[in-house]
Amino acid sequence: MAETRLIQGRYRLLERIGRGGMGEVWRAVDEALGRHVAVKCLKPMGPQHDAGFATVLRERFRREARVAAALQHRGVTVVHDFGEYDGVLYLVMELLEGRNLSQLLEENSQRPLPVRDVLDIAEQVSDALAYTHGQGIVHRDLKPANIMRLTDGAVKICDFGIARLGEDIGFTSRLTGTGIAMGTPHYMSPEQISGGHVDHRSDLYSLGCVLYEIATGVPPFDHDDAWAVLVGHRDTTPEPLRTHRSEIPDSFQEIVLDLLAKPPEDRPTDATHLTLRIGAAARPGVALSPPPQSPAEGPAPAPRLPSWTRGMTTGHKATSTSVMRTSLPDHTAGLTGEWTTLTDPWGGPVLPVSAGPERPTPPPELVAVLAGRHSAGLSLGRLGRWEEAGEVHRAVAAEREHALGPDHPDTLASRYEVAFTLSRTGRGADALREFGRVAEGRERTMGADHPEALAARQETAYVLGQLGRHFEAHEVYASVLAARERTMGPDHPDTLRCRHNLAFNLSRLGRLEDSFRMAHDVAAARARVLGAEHPDTLVTQYEVAYALGRLGRWSEALQTYREVAAARSRALGPDHPDTLAARYEVGISLGRLGHSAEALELYRSLVADRTRIQGPTDPETLRARHGVGVNLGRLARWEEALAEAEEVSALRERVLGADHPDTLVSHREVAVGLGWLGRWADALTTHRHVATARESVFGPDHPDALASRNDEAHCLEQLGRQEEAVELYRTVAALRERRGTHGR
């Protein structure tokens, strides 16, 4: 292959930049797109492999390459293309400018890296693993040589799926007489050494080995003899990092030693919470789960950005006159848009790009600068600074469109992030338009069934649901689900995410039995694929509990919510927002079952925790206080209930606004308390205020507005004003009948 210097008439090899047991890596030019890429040429199979094995290997290679190509995250090397040429399997990847961690250590004379850099690298690698593990992908060969630190400070993991190919082909050496597949023994988990079951926790162990080495300058088990290294992994407790280097923070030492636990179950449960722990170690003043800023308080100090964003700016605001076309919890699939090829990595043909004038190839420096600013926007989003992130992505999108064209994958990646920030800042209609534009562009250039095109369509469905357009959302979800099942299979994490979204939407359409059955099936599948305590599994279990409650099956809902709360506490921590949300729903279920004293105790505990974590005026703290007041009323402690409702309604009005739905709910609770205390005239005034506000916000025939008018009629009846009460009851009945007729 080196003699021809050209692969498939497209990739011209320029110089070899790496060689290893798996083959060679070349700097090359993609002559079709005029850009530099890296081409990894895998070693030809030896004579010991027959034709049948070669066929199996080629299919395995295609499958693994597709897996790698489908990974779209800022911390994972992008695979552009793959194939076979003259009997040699090859991968085309983005060309990374930087050094791998092994090279960085060598250039530093094997001295450890600066602590600040170690923490930054740890956080970025952990974040990338959280994504890949969420896709059901385990690396299996994480080591310093497979982690790149780019010149702009970004960190990327390389060679997903390739290590397993090496095992199949027999490239890796083996210890004599042991039968143990040898990758790099310094970074192998105990279960890999023993030939046991390997899952995402093996990657976490390997990450612990990498972090130990870059933080101290030596691996955790530093022996010349490979067998001694393996025995160390299996039987020996590593020395604390601070015995090598005293300035390492205690919190980071604890993290690394947790990662190096021998039994997988003793390691951190997943990389998602690990990332939060590392972030807290890097920024000691920041809580593991940063609370949202209360509108009543001053602006919070800006969190420190990762070191690799230093010197980056948000650029100029986009000046394009076109309207920015612009989804959330578990229901979103946040692509980072580092895909930069027009070749379908799933094996399809190159699709035509929309017609337009031929554009000059942009300078590589401009492409690199825009990629860095794109990454900075992603970092701002991770910190919850969505307005700023939106400004960055809009500017980058405009510049990428000018330099690369409107349908270039990089431009569409920026548009996708613009849409995501719009949805995060409550601009659903704008987000819907932008996601629609991205979906159309990706379908034109990548094909309708490409994972990125499906991701954009799925986000349009989510935003449709956010806008209350559930029937339209259902149609889009069903279409995307069919495509995902056809192209990825029923148990792929992206397929399961789409099925979860569809179950969620079914409940909003009132199809509660269908929603429950689908959510139940998805929860079982996610538990099987991702693990019983994976955050995605628990989100679906939460949806199962919600459906059970809507169906009136409150005992089952209570049990499920309790299981979710306990699992989230173990996996995410007791103070994580998702854990606290599940505890809130436990209280709702207790109240529905008449266990008001137990619910009251739970809500008071939740108020204390919310106040400690998020502050006394945070909306979620006030929601928990509302639960306290409701259950005081259920226990007939009406004086206390009224006092609590009045204080919460005043705080909500100040924090959320006078017409916010939560504020109006608290005002109604005040009116209920006044009625039970016999103060019907005061109750009537408050109910009328709530009814008028709800009609203004929701419309006169909205269920909440009608309920408030019904409350008003009840007060009139209690005050002996029977004729007014009857007339109002009739008006409410007529509006309900009209709403029912129009809703069919």
Question: Each residue of 240-249: pLDDT tens digit?
Answer: 999 999 999 9
Measuring CA to CA, which residue among 95, 80, 92, 99 is closest to residue 41? 92
Q: Is residue 535 part of a domain?
A: no
- Give the pLDDT confidence score for residue 593 in this predicted structure: 95
Are residues 454 and 394 both part of a single domain? Answer: yes
Is the distance from CB of 483 to CB of 448 less than 8 angstroms?
yes
Residues 125 and 148 in one domain: yes
Mean pLDDT of 572-596: 92
Residue 104 included in any domain = yes
pLDDT band at residue 364 using 50, 70 and 90 as cut-offs:
confident
Report whether pLDDT(311) > 50.
no
- Token pair, residue 567, equals 């699992």
Residue 126: HSE in the Cβ half-sphere, 13 Å Cα cutoff: 25
pLDDT band for 7, please (50, 70, 90 cuts): confident
Same domain for 133 and 258?
yes
Q: At which of 42, 59, 94 does a domain end? A: 94
Taking a C-beta distance cutoff of 8 angstroms, is the pair 657, 695 a contact? no
Mean pLDDT, all residues of the chain = 81
Q: Which residue has the higher pLDDT, 297 or 260?
A: 260
Q: Which of 467, 499, 530 is the last residue of a domain?
A: 467
Q: What is the pLDDT of residue 383?
A: 65
Measure the CA–CA gap between 134 and 140, rounded to whole angstroms.
Answer: 15
Of the given ranges (63-77, 274-288, 421-435, 492-506), which has the lowest mean pLDDT? 274-288
Question: pTM of the predicted model, to two decimals?
Answer: 0.51
Q: ∠ CA 555-560-563 to the nearest 5 degrees?
A: 130
What is 201-243 written as a DSSP string? HHHHHHHHHHHHHHHHSS-SS--SSHHHHHHHHHH-PPPPGGG
Enzyme catalytic residues: 141
Q: Could you tell me the pLDDT band of residue 327, with boundaries at 50, 70 and 90?
A: very low
Distance in angstroms (rounded) separating the CA atoms of residues 523 and 517: 10
Q: Which of 59-73, 579-593, 631-645 is least confident? A: 59-73
Question: In angstroms, rounded to a whole number, what is the distance separating the alpha carbons of residues 204 and 213?
Answer: 14
CA distance 259 to 231: 17
Helix (H) or strand (E) holding 105: helix 101-107
Residues 677 and 683: their CA atoms lie apart, in Å, by 10
Q: 83 falls in which pLDDT band (50, 70, 90)?
A: confident
- With CA atoms as reference, report the closest residue to 492 among 528, 466, 468, 465: 528
pLDDT on residue 680 = 95
- Domain check: are 319 and 334 in the same one? yes
Around Cβ 743, how many Cβ atoms within 10 Å? 8
Give residues with Cβ within 8 angstroms of 637, minimum separation 6.
Answer: none
In the predicted structure, residue 321 carries a pLDDT above the cut 70 = no
Is residue 512 in a domain?
Answer: no
What is the pLDDT confidence band of residue 232, given thresholds at 50, 70 and 90? confident
Question: How wide is the angle at C-alpha 11 spanned by C-alphas 5 and 16, nearest 5°?
Answer: 55
Radius of gyration (Cα) for the chain, nearest Å? 29
Q: Are 148 and 176 contacting, i.e. CB atoms less than 8 angstroms apart? A: no
* Predicted local distance difference test score (pLDDT) of residue 478: 93
CA 504 to centroid of chain Cα atoms: 17
Q: How confident is the model over 54-83, as a mean pLDDT?
A: 78
Residue 319 in this model has a pLDDT that exceeds 80: no
Tokens at 437, concatenated: 């534009």
Q: Please count the other Cβ atoms lying within 10 Å of the Cβ belonging to residue 430.
A: 19
Q: What is the pLDDT of residue 513?
A: 93
Q: Interior CA angle at 78 toward 77 and 81, to 5°?
A: 135
pLDDT of residue 372: 78
pLDDT at site 303: 37
Q: Quote the DSSP letter at residue 174.
A: B
Task: Give the residues across from 174 on adjacent strands.
Answer: 181
Regarding whether 237 and 125 lie in a shared domain, the answer is yes
Q: How far apart are CA 412 and CA 420, in angstroms?
A: 12
How far is the C-alpha of 671 from the C-alpha of 687, rounded, in Å? 6
* Confidence label for 337 from pLDDT (cuts 50, 70 and 90): very low
Backbone angles phi, psi at 349, to 5 degrees: -75, 165
Report d(CA 708, CA 687) in Å as an integer.
6
Cβ-based neighbours of 666, under 8 Å, separated by 6 or more:
626, 645, 648, 649, 652
Share of the chain above pLDDT 90, in %: 50
List pLDDT tens digits, range 210-223.
999 999 999 999 87
What three-state secondary structure class fits 322?
A: coil
pLDDT at 178 over 60: no
pLDDT band at 464 (very low <50, low <70, confident <90, very high): very high
The mean per-residue pLDDT over the stretch 682-711 comes to 92
Mean pLDDT (whole number) for 555-580: 92
pLDDT value at residue 205: 95
Q: Are residues 80 and 117 in the same domain?
A: no
- For the four alpha carbons of 613, 617, 620 and 626, in that order, the dihedral sign comes to positive
Parent domain of 122: 98-174+181-282
* Domains: count for the chain: 3
Over residues 607-666, the pLDDT tens digits come to 999 999 888 999 999 999 999 999 999 999 999 999 999 999 999 999 899 989 999 999
List, as one string, the DSSP characters of 377-433.
HHHHHHTT-HHHHHHHHHHHHHHHHHHH-TTSHHHHHHHHHHHHHHHHTT-HHHHHH
Distance from C-alpha of 381 to C-alpha of 183, rounded to nearest angstrom: 37
Instruction: Report yes or no on 569 lying in a domain.
Output: no
Is residue 563 scored above 50 in pLDDT? yes
> Are 12 and 112 found together in one domain?
no
**Tens of pLDDT, residues 377-412:** 887 777 677 888 888 899 899 999 988 999 999 999
Spatial distance between the Cα atoms of 378 and 339, rounded to a whole number of angstroms: 15
Q: Sign of the C-alpha dihedral, residues 580, 582, 583, 589? A: positive
Query: Alpha helix locations (H) across 573-660?
Result: 577-592, 596-614, 619-634, 638-656
**CATH code for position 130:** 1.10.510.10
* Residue 48 confidence (pLDDT) above 50: no
119, part of any domain: yes
Q: Are residues 251 and 381 in the same domain?
A: no
Q: Which residue has the tokens 């009139």?
A: 716
d(CA 493, CA 500): 10
User: Do residues 740 and 731 make contact, with C-beta atoms less than 8 angstroms apart?
Assistant: no
Three-state DSSP state, 576: coil
| Whole-number pLDDT of residue 384 | 73
Confidence band (pLDDT; 50, 70, 90) for 161? low
Mean local confidence (pLDDT), 136-146: 89
Could you report the per-residue pLDDT of 489-545, keeping only the tens digit for each?
Answer: 898 888 999 999 999 999 888 899 999 999 999 999 999 888 888 888 999 999 999
Mark whether 246 and 202 lie in a shared domain.
Answer: yes
Same domain, 169 and 77: no
The confidence score (pLDDT) of residue 314 equals 32
pLDDT category of residue 356 using cuts at 50, 70 and 90: very low
Which stretch of 44-53, 133-142, 685-694 has the lowest confidence by average pLDDT? 44-53
| CATH number, domain containing residue 69 | 3.30.200.20
DSSP string computed for 52-84? HHHHHHHHHHHHHHHHHHH---TTBPPEEEEEE
For residue 21, which of 166, 176, 188 has the smallest C-alpha distance?
A: 166
pLDDT in the model for residue 55:
67
pLDDT for 159:
80
Does 53 map to a domain?
yes
How would residue 22 be classed by pLDDT, with cut points 50, 70 and 90? Answer: low
pLDDT band at residue 285 under the 50/70/90 scheme: low
- Which of 417, 445, 467 represents a domain boundary (last residue)? 467
CA distance to 38, 534, 702, per residue, from 502 (Å): 40, 20, 25
Question: From CA 313, how far away is CA 373, in angstroms rounded?
Answer: 7
- Regarding whether 164 and 121 lie in a shared domain, the answer is yes
- What pLDDT is attached to residue 72? 80
End-to-end CA distance of the chain: 67
Quick check: 134 pLDDT over 80?
yes
- Distance of alpha carbon 140 from alpha carbon 150, whole angstroms: 22
CATH code, domain with 421: 1.25.40.10
Please state, for a pLDDT cut of 70, what percent of the chain lies above it. 82
Q: Does a structural domain hold residue 580?
A: no
Whether 744 is in a domain gets the answer no
Q: Are residues 317 and 428 in the same domain?
A: yes
Report the sign of the C-alpha dihedral through residues 583, 588, 594, 596, in that order.
positive
Does the structure show a pLDDT above 70 at 299? no
Q: Is the dihedral of CA 72, 78, 82, 87 positive or negative?
A: negative
| Beta-sheet strand order (sheet of 155-157) | 98-100, 147-150, 155-157
CA 148, 154, 157: angle at the middle one, nearest 5? 40
Contact (Cβ atoms closer than 8 angstroms) between residue 210 and residue 147: yes
